[in-house]
Structure 1
Amino acid sequence: MASKLSRRSFLRAAAAMGGVGILAACGGAPAQQGGTGGEQPAAEAPAQGGQAVTEITFWWWDAAGQIWADEYSKVNPQVKVTFVNTPFADAHDKLLTSFAAGSGAPDVASIEIGRIGGFTARGGLADLKAPPFDGGQFEKDMVTYKWIQGSTEDGRLVAMPWDIGPAGVWYRVDYFEELGLPTEPEEIEELISHTHGRTWDDFFAFAKRVSDASGGKTKLFADAGTDIYGATYRQQGEGYQQGNKILIEEKATRPFQLAAQARQQELDANIAWWGAEWQTGLSEKAFAGMVIAAWMQGGLTRDQPDSVGKWRVVHAPEGNYNWGGSFVAIPEQSQNKEAAWEFVKWACCSAEGQNVMFKQTGVMPAYKPAWEDPLYDAPVDFFGGQRTYRIWTEIADNIPAILRTPNDLQLDDIVGAELTKVLQEGKDPVQAAKDAEAEALNRIRDVTA
């Protein structure tokens, strides 16, 4: 099975699955409502009560963007938010094209975490700390690693944190029960979670226990590439470059080794994520869990409705991590910066704006005061009454990060190609990391080892 951990490949595959909310936090659901393509609508809006109405355009790649547009009209009827559901690639590529052309950008743009490095390192986006904005006041309220990722090396804030992807180990309580395994989160936490000092070796020992209990028919997780490499790499903070220094050997060697170990010991189901085979594998008990982020709730609710109420979540071995997330930015081209800023503040920097989206999509806010809402301590039906939202907030507040760079997508592809060789061809993980770093140094200018 293909195990190349390319963010672009993931987004394309996920887009093919369709739906609203599954990848709102991490990538491209296809265009559905609220506009077509990525072209900026005419900035015309009717008067309200004899007063002129300001119209601003908002690009995002998920139809759920209409939620914000509709709700903001109730809060501020003097501003009309025209939501344009823009395909994922267009949301970023057309934005860059508009910068080069000098026109065509929206008033408010969404930027996904895998693309943020290409924007923080160039011009085109307004500094939200500078007048007429006052974005610096929200730094203490945001998840630290998201604030860092939306900032430039010289301290400008060009992308306001929006949502996050705190991650952990998910498991099907009904599958565990059938296999005679412990089922309560407290029991599983004690066996595999870093909150009890557990390591990935402990996780693998439990994975073997799952496999043995089923006679090898059910594995704990689907794919060593996504579940194991994806988690262990991100536990170090996302990114293979800091400044001009390439960190592939430092950050990929052990994750390569752990993923290879899982595959060699036949601990994964060897089923690639996101496609039909993965969906079938979950339904047919080929695997009983996953190591993934909070946003997966939306997709499972839609695609695996029979599983609702049967999932539980515990902390991952060795540490917390994040996968996915988005930002909101105001292009310098905007002719309505003050109105755009008021919308951004409501959407990203208020509990009301963040939670109106969270309640309908499961997109987890980066704005920490939103977590004070009682809903974060309430039992969650999807997780069988487990108070999972509070777990996500605890994880989100303890995650490392580094600045993103314009080379992130290229580095992801280079590392992903070597990961495929490790898992499919049995390539030595240490050599694979060395080769990936050498390839990066050869292909990318002005970087060092």
Structure 2
Amino acid sequence: MRPIKTALLSALAALALASAPMAQEAAPYRPGPETSGTIKVWTWPNNDRTFQALMPAFNAAYPNIKVEVQGFPNGDSQYLNTLQRALLSNSGPDVAMIEIGVLALLRERPQWVDLAQDPYNADALMSQFAPFAAANVTRPDGKIVALPKHTGPGGLFYRRDIFAEAGLANAPGDVEALFADWNSFIEEGQKVVKPNERWLIANGMEIVSTMMAQRGVNWFDAEGKLQLENPVVLEALQVVDKAADAGLISPFAMWSPEWQGAFGRGQIATIMSGNWFGGLLKRAFAPDDDGKWGVAAAPADSTGNRSFNAGGDHIGILETSQNKEAAWAFISWVVTDGESLKQQYQNDDLYPAWTPAGTTEWINFADPYYDGQNVNEVFAQVQANLIPATLNTDDSVVSAAMQTVVNNIVQGVSTPEQALEQAKAEVAARL
């Protein structure tokens, strides 16, 4: 690999900090366009399709780099297992994606290139990423294991037409006023429900995840202590119970074919999720619903906070890569280049972790899918005000246990108090 002058990088990074709203003008130093080689990139669906769509723009900048993309199902299951096996055997791709839910598990692996070191010096760029995303990829010893790619500022996606049919206001600001808090969300939300035909909420776990994130409570605290005793957990389960009693929660298992199809059939009126969910609605779940959806901030918690993060991804280089220069050219371009970020946002609703992108025209536009709404007016506020999550290697264990007991509440099998004790027992048995 050609050495990259640290002084030049520092000068260009300083220039980037002072420049533009455009992401291209704030881009970090990258290897020159003559850089060549073949690199393998591992990711998951539909991010493999996203990368493939970027290839014409990437090869306009780097015509001599060939990128071979391979997708493995589910970033936190089959993909995770495949990547872990590769890390343990010192094999695998040049570049690999990391989903936020498993970042705590993977960032401790020594097989990641330290991007804080020469010739990358990515620490000079961290101030240009969303602070919580930059912190998540930076270990206590200063090692940067990956670059933040996208975040998941969350909101309430809702069906404008269903709200109007039910006699409810359907402009984003009016919806936020209507759903001022969780009690009003349940009370007013009952008006859109048709028993055994249409529901307000896709899955009870949305309520738990959103309420905990609004309060800055995660499965574990910064010291690694389990947080199931935190009062907000039981409070969230009690809201789930009220919503279930009111018939608001659909019977469909999350990510099942029935759950996915319910959005296009008009059976689910809202979902609380990260910005990226809009890409699934547009291209997979409800592609014919232009103008029917809107986005509002989620119901406020007892402190008045409506903001939460739900998702995010990162991209790093493996030490075993035989072409780290081309790998660095690729990952730095993907997460900072204006054309890259524009295509990922407008084609797949992927929200940039690279903050200079937030003031561009391409992220602030009247989106016809949302009846002309500029949804970044919601998501930018969320990203600015959300409480960063504390990630832990055992998050998936607790999340799985909680999803089970939430389903038990919805099905009337357990009370919130019983469900919480069941979750504690399940987690204790697995940890």
- TM-score band (shorter)? 0.7 to 0.9
1:262 to 243, 247, 250: 243
Distance 2:196 2:53 in 1: 45
CA shift for structure 1 position 260: 1.3
Matches within 5 A, 1:235-384: 235-237=214-216, 239-242=218-221, 243-250=223-230, 252-279=233-260, 281-302=262-283, 303-318=285-300, 319-384=306-371
CA contact (8 A) 1:350 1:367 kept: no
Q: Equivalent residue for 2:65?
A: 79
Instruction: In structure 2, give the amino acid aligned to 1:109.
Output: A
1:91 to 68, 71, 79: 79
State the Cα deviation string for residues 289-323 of structure 1 (Å, max 9, x = none): 22222222222223323311111111011221121
Moved more, 57-66 or 382-391: 57-66
Deviation at 1:69, TM superposition (A): 3.3
Tell me, in whole angstroms, the C-alpha distance in 2 between the residues paired with 1:320 and 1:99.
35
Question: 5+ unaligned residues in a row in structure 2: which ranges?
Answer: 1-32, 301-305
> In the TM superposition, what is the alpha-carbon distance from 1:417 to its structure 2 partner?
2.5
Q: How many residues align?
A: 386
Unaligned runs of 5+ in 1: 1-48, 193-197, 445-449
Q: Give the Å deviation of 1:216.
A: 8.7
Deviations along 1:308-365, one digit per CA (max 9) or x if unpaired, are 1111111011221121221101112222223322221111133333223222222111
- After superposition, the C-alpha distances for 1:231-254 in whole angstroms (9 at most, x for unaligned) are 223334474123331112215322
The letter for the 1-side match of 2:234 is T
Q: What is the aligned counterpart of 1:65 among 13, 38, 51?
A: 51
Q: Is the 8 A contact 1:91 1:110 kept in 2?
A: no
- How far the C-alpha of 1:79 sits from its partner, in A, is 2.5
Match of 2:102 among 115, 126, 130: 115
Gap change, CA 1:86 and 1:433, over 3 Å in 2: same
Percent identical among aligned pairs is 27
Q: Shift in Å at residue 183 of structure 1?
A: 2.1
Residues in 2 aligned to 1:116 and 1:84: alpha-carbon distance in whole angstroms: 20
Q: Is the 8 A contact 2:342 2:362 kept in 1?
A: no
Partner of residue 161, structure 1: 148
Q: Match of 1:234? A: 213
Query: Where does residue 372 of structure 2 map in the other structure?
Result: 385
Q: Answer yes or no: is the 8 Å Cα contact 2:104–2:391 preserved in 1.
A: yes
In structure 2, what is the Cα distance between the partners aligned to 1:219 and 1:416? 19
Deviation string for 1:257-302 (max 9, x for gaps)?
1111110222334343433433554455433222222222222223
CA RMSD between the two structures: 2.5
1:182 aligns with one of 169, 178, 190: 169
TM-score with structure 1 length normalisation?
0.79
Q: Is the 8 A contact 2:190 2:248 kept in 1?
A: yes
Counterpart of 1:144 in structure 2 is: 131
Instruction: Write the distance in 2 (CA, Å) between the matches of 1:150 and 1:52.
Output: 26
Contact 2:160 2:170 in 1 (8 A): yes
2:146 and 2:314 in contact (8 A); partners too: yes
Instruction: Give the secondary structure class of the aligned counterpart of 1:339.
Output: helix
Equivalent residue number for residue 42 of structure 1 = none
Between 1:296-305 and 1:307-316, the stretch displaced more is 296-305
Report the AA paired with residue 113 of structure 1.
Answer: I
Q: 1:162 to 1:270 in 2, by over 3 A?
A: same
2:102 counterpart SS class? coil
Q: Is the 8 A contact 1:120 1:405 kept in 2?
A: no
